[in-house]
Amino acid sequence: MEIKKNYSKFEKWYPYSGLIYLKKQGEEKMRIPKLLKQTVIFLYKYIEESNEYHALGTGFFIGLIEEDSFFPYLVTCKHVIKDSIDDGHTIHGRFNIAEEMDVGFEPFPNEWVYHDDPAIDLAILSWPKTGENPPYRWGALPFNDAIYRPIDVPIMDGGVVEGDEVFFVGLFTQFTGIKRNYPIVRFGKVALLTDELIHTELGLSKNILIECQAYPGNSGSPLFIPTKTKNGEIVASLLGVIAGYWPDTQEIYVEDEKSLKVFSHFGISMAVPAPKISDILYGKEFMKQREEKKNSARMKRMPMPAKNELKGINAEMSKEEFLNVLKMASSPNDESPDDDK
């Protein structure tokens, strides 16, 4: 196995597989690791006539490991990008540049894959920028480890119920940062779990309702729920993707007896359940792509992910290989003084 060499000071691309800790044994407070925020990027549309970028929403990276190959994907909501694409605009990602303290815009090919059900508000792109020396700093959530599965990763009290704490990481359009992307972390609670379909602008679909105020720009953000491993550590599990909120229309009357409508927030937002991502990843289109790429020269040059060594969990790498990787790059969960300056 060939490992990427010569990591520079700022180059921290993590094709990483393993559980993402929020709290380990003996720790009192839950902490949001920087790796979790580095999986998130901001999505913009480019207006060629004015040479301007307009913020659309949030996207985040996930990764699949199959045999000896690593496949990263970018996930967002369909409504975030589809109208702009239909209008002829190019979707760009705003990335942290690895080699310097700055951001760069990367155009995406119009190769997004949607769910077979048009009411499911998801869009996924196979991420092509995975060569020997990627220019951006980003991380990919280990999808098969990070996705919430009630059987594999039990919640604290045996299942997700209303009242469980959740949080999401996404774009805050009022402050994005100048030399770095700075996604915000918003906290809330599960408000409703129902087997009935909920009406959305795309149609009837199954969604999770959360008591948390999502706003424009938050669509496409990964929604996490803290879960407990068999060893007692608290990890971040991907529960869903933020897809919308309910605005509250209020009417205000002014002195000349004319009315003015204003919008506020009911405080309830919704998320597409994470298993719907699996439907697309393991659909015919992406399955065929992965089979074609597995034996390509580019895939063979890619570094394989390291995996957390936990009791009772098998590592993807041998102990010797794992230690060699750690010597070449700091652990993704470590706090680095160079991160997010």
Sign of CA dihedral 92, 125, 226, 18: negative
Which structural domain, as residue segments, surrounds residue 89? 21-328
Residue 10 lies in a domain: no
Residue 83 lies in a domain: yes
Domain count, the chain: 1
Dist. CA 310–CA 308, nearest whole Å: 6
Output 283 or 313, whichever has higher pLDDT: 283
Q: What is the DSSP letter of 302?
A: S
Nearest Cα to Cα of residue 305 among 15, 51, 8: 15
Burial of 311 (0-12, 13-18, 19+ CB in 10 A): exposed
Residue 323 has pLDDT above 70, yes or no: no
Output 144 or 167, whichever has higher pLDDT: 167
Burial of 218 (0-12, 13-18, 19+ CB in 10 A): buried
Residue 15 lies in a domain: no
Residue 337 lies in a domain: no
pLDDT in tens, 226-257: 988 777 788 899 999 999 877 666 667 676 66
Residue 38 lies in a domain: yes
Q: What is the pLDDT of residue 266?
A: 77
pLDDT in tens, 200-209: 888 999 999 9
Output 292 or 45, whichever has higher pLDDT: 45
- Rg value, the chain, Cα: 20
Dist. CA 223–CA 245, nearest whole Å: 14
Percent of the chain at pLDDT > 70 equals 71
Nearest Cα to Cα of residue 27 among 235, 263, 283, 224: 235
Q: How many CA atoms lie within 13 A of 144 on its CB side?
A: 13
CATH for 189: 2.40.10.10
pLDDT in tens, 254-297: 766 677 767 667 788 999 999 999 999 999 999 998 888 876 64
Q: What is the pLDDT of residue 158?
A: 58
pLDDT in tens, 83-124: 999 999 999 999 998 878 999 999 999 999 999 999 999 999
Residue 334 lies in a domain: no
- What pLDDT band is residue 12 in, cutting at 50, 70 and 90? very low
Dist. CA 123–CA 331, nearest whole Å: 30
Residue 64 has pLDDT above 90, yes or no: no
- Report the chain's mean pLDDT, rounded to a whole number: 77
Nearest Cα to Cα of residue 306 among 338, 330, 287: 330
Residue 11 lies in a domain: no
Place of tokens 């605009």: 89
Residue 199 lies in a domain: yes
